[in-house]
Chain A
Amino acid sequence: MQRRKVLGLAGAGAAGAAVAGAGAIALTHREPKPDTLVSDTAGAYPFYGERQAGIITPAQDRLHFCAFDVITDDKAALVDMLQDWTAAAARMTQGRDAGTFGAVGGSMQAPPDDTGEALDLPASGLTLTIGFGPTLFRDVRGKDRFGIAAKRPAALADLPNFPRDTLDPAISGGDIAVQACAHDPQVAVHAIRNLARIGMGKVSVRWSQLGFGRTSSTSRSQVTPRNLFGFKDGTRNLKAEDTALLDEHLWVHSGDGPDWMTGGSYLVTRKVRMLIETWDRSMLAEQQTIIGRDKGEGAPLTGKLEHDEPDFKAEDGEGQPVIAVDSHLRLAHADQNNGARLLRRGYNYVDGSDGLGRLNAGLFFIGYQRDPRKQFVQIQNSLAKLDALNEYIRHTSSGLFACPPGLLAADDYWGRSLFA
């Protein structure tokens, strides 16, 4: 059952692009591509393609991220579930019900094969991106449950402990992760909920995270958003249009590791709690010094405009660096990290309050890369040791997942090349 007919591209163009600059891009393509902004927030991104959608896809506004533990030791049952998931994902990303009969089309005596809360809602730019965690290859007891330990990529090495980590194991890790991004939170939640339902008995939700307000732009068609500290975030992010940079920093090459990951990417998630109440009573000057940018424009403290190149050598009248040695901008910059760059598509989160009168809020960091050992680990080591921002943040959750390339056709399914 088609939940709701989405506007065709022509219709969308006629209706006017909701996002500045998007209409023109969308209209140059007959078919929407994963890395091209769908011109209205209702539209659908293709499920099949060389890359998984949801990586360089222009970051949607809402996130439901879910990490699952596999609770069966039966490889056939797991593979069977992944096939069911793939079929449901292919349907839901196109704005259709999760199952064949749908929320209201099946037997009156059977639970519906779709949960129904997305009835009447369009595809809303939903993307579903799957990744496989280190514990799928060898569980915490060291057991190779599915006979795939030899296929574990070296790049999927457990992340080291970083200074100041305050990770909660209950909301970290996981055997399989699914990132659901959409413009409508109900559509993202619907997708995760149905996958969890389909996976019942084979997988169990380990932890999940809702996010609102993208904190990065992954396309030049998008403006740079702000995180909950009030600063623009992701100015120097890798963008969908930077094809050569993506090739160098984002996509796994043939020969990098096992073939099943060629064309894929590695995902690191970090839940970064922000101590926003103490941040909010710090001076504007201190905030800007910590970040290394001005709060309004987002320009480096050595420049005037957001995209000006920072000048790390510039000194003030007292011979001190204008961009402080412990500023976030300096420590996170590729020049300080052997050229390491990431494609970030994180989200703000507020998980209610913490019982002490503080908002339980922060940034759910999502970073994609070709090799976490040379990229995330490098950058995070710099930040964790020195970043002045550390006074205002706590890393409470961590995840690492290998996201294979996309599926080219309906005879393929998530994990086939891994489990085959």
Chain B
Amino acid sequence: MRTARLITAGAAAALLLTACGDKKSDDAAGDGTGKIAVAASDTECKVERATSAAGTVTFTIANKGSKINEFYVYATGDRIMGEIENIAPGLTRELIVELPAGAYETACKPGMIGKGIRNAFQVTGSAAPLTEDAKLAQATADYQRYVKSQSGALIEQTTAFVAAVKAGDVEKAKTLFPIARTYWERIEPVAESFGDLDPAIDARDGDLEPGQKWTGFHKIEKDLWVTKDVSKSGPDADKLLADVQTIVNKANTVTFSPVELANGAKELLDEVASGKITGEEDRYSHTDLWDFAANLEGSQGAVQALRPALEERDPALVKTLDENFAKVEASLEKHRSGDGWKLHNQLTQAELKELSDNINALAEPISKVAAIVAKK
């Protein structure tokens, strides 16, 4: 029942990346099928209508506030049915999403943080019941769409980061570094499936074999924070963007099986447990909590794609996962600072232990997901 078909992969990607302009809301037909205007501000999220007929639903989101905004459509358990990120102040962007009958939530996220300003959204109509396998097939499609949206933002943000580095604007580059990495970290297991590209983008000093050249995010991180000189970082920056572009192109041509999704969700938490809690990931900038949050969101993205199948097969596990995701989020939330996060070296050992405990508590039930979706 809870499913969303992608219109077409290419079209959606193009929309996510480029759809903007001054589209007027229009429900001329008066049958609940027209475009739905969303007036977003820093404090409000006014959705023109709270209902729609099943099928293609188009939201036109106008950001009238002063902060960058995002708009989401969630199914039960915060499964993302559609999202638009990086809506700059003054811009209007469109989200086109296929929604079968059911109860949804819409959310504006001014400042791109938190749970957002939520509204209920009812979709009426009938939909054919799905078989189990259809639910799993849907999981694959849902996750592919997630990868597409994240990889689009990854290109945008890496482009901005690289531009700042090449312009010699150290302060701006430092600000953009954890933001670009956010999109990278959300889909890192996807990147890791492409062998040598992951180290080229994300290797840490000392990870390499003798003779390999160190490139990627962390090389530039060292230039920014330790050497404090990016005058020679131009070629590294260019290569980073080229490598990211290559990986994004590849990511959007492959699909992932439900078991791969489940393992990806687990691997992202393992990344947190082994690299972020310890401060190993961003050892120069100490921006590990950005990566932590992104890994967590990426894990949640994969789990949410599997959610319909999981709810059918093991509803108790879904409940446990929901509770444990909420616990990690709550313990992470304590360390928010401004629009971002505290630095890793600002956390006490006791605070890190709490985060570690909560990640372990979540990773344990998540390690059970693969076997459940693999079960015939």
List residues of A whose CB falls within 8 A of some B CB: 71, 107, 109-111, 197, 200-202, 204
B364 touches A109 (CB 8 A): no
How many Å lie between the Cα of A200 and that of B273 in the bound state? 13
B259 touches A109 (CB 8 A): yes
B360 touches A200 (CB 8 A): yes
B150 touches A (CB below 8 Å): no
Interface SS of chain B: helix, strand, loop or mixed?
A: helix
B361 touches A201 (CB 8 A): yes
Q: Residues of B contacting A71 with CB < 8 Å?
A: 357-358, 361
How many Å lie between the Cα of A201 and that of B320 in the bound state? 10
The range of chain B's interface size is: 10 to 19
Shortest Cβ distance from residue B115 to the other chain A in the assembled complex, whole angstroms: 23
Among residues of A, the one whose C-beta sits closest to the C-beta of B370 is: A109
B374 touches A (CB below 8 Å): yes
Contact A111 to B367, CB < 8 A, known contacts A201-B324, A204-B353: yes
17 A-B interface contacts by CB (under 8 A): A71-B358, A107-B371, A107-B375, A109-B259, A110-B367, A110-B371, A200-B360, A200-B363, A201-B324, A201-B357, A201-B360, A201-B362, A201-B364, A202-B361, A204-B353, A204-B357, A204-B360
B24 touches A (CB below 8 Å): no
Q: Residues of A contacting B364 with CB < 8 Å?
A: 197, 200-201
Q: Residues of B contacting A197 with CB < 8 Å?
A: 364
Contact A107 to B374, CB < 8 A, known contacts A201-B324, A201-B365, A204-B353: yes
Shortest Cβ distance from residue A324 to the other chain B in the assembled complex, whole angstroms: 43
B313 touches A (CB below 8 Å): no
B371 touches A109 (CB 8 A): yes
B49 touches A (CB below 8 Å): no
Contact with A along B198-214 (1 / 0, CB 8 A): 00000000000000000
Contact A110 to B357, CB < 8 A, known contacts A201-B362, A201-B365: no
Besides A111-B367, A200-B361, 15 other A-B contacts (C-beta < 8 A): A71-B358, A107-B371, A109-B259, A109-B370, A109-B371, A109-B374, A110-B367, A110-B371, A111-B368, A197-B364, A201-B362, A201-B364, A201-B365, A202-B361, A204-B357
How many Å lie between the Cα of A195 and that of B207 in the bound state? 33
Among residues of B, the one whose C-beta sits closest to the C-beta of A72 is: B361
Contact A110 to B370, CB < 8 A, known contacts A201-B361, A204-B357: yes
Among residues of A, the one whose C-beta sits closest to the C-beta of B353 is: A204
How many Å lie between the Cα of A196 and that of B209 in the bound state? 35
Shortest Cβ distance from residue B132 to the other chain A in the assembled complex, whole angstroms: 16
How many Å lie between the Cα of A197 and that of B363 in the bound state? 11
Q: Residues of A contacting B362 with CB < 8 Å?
A: 201
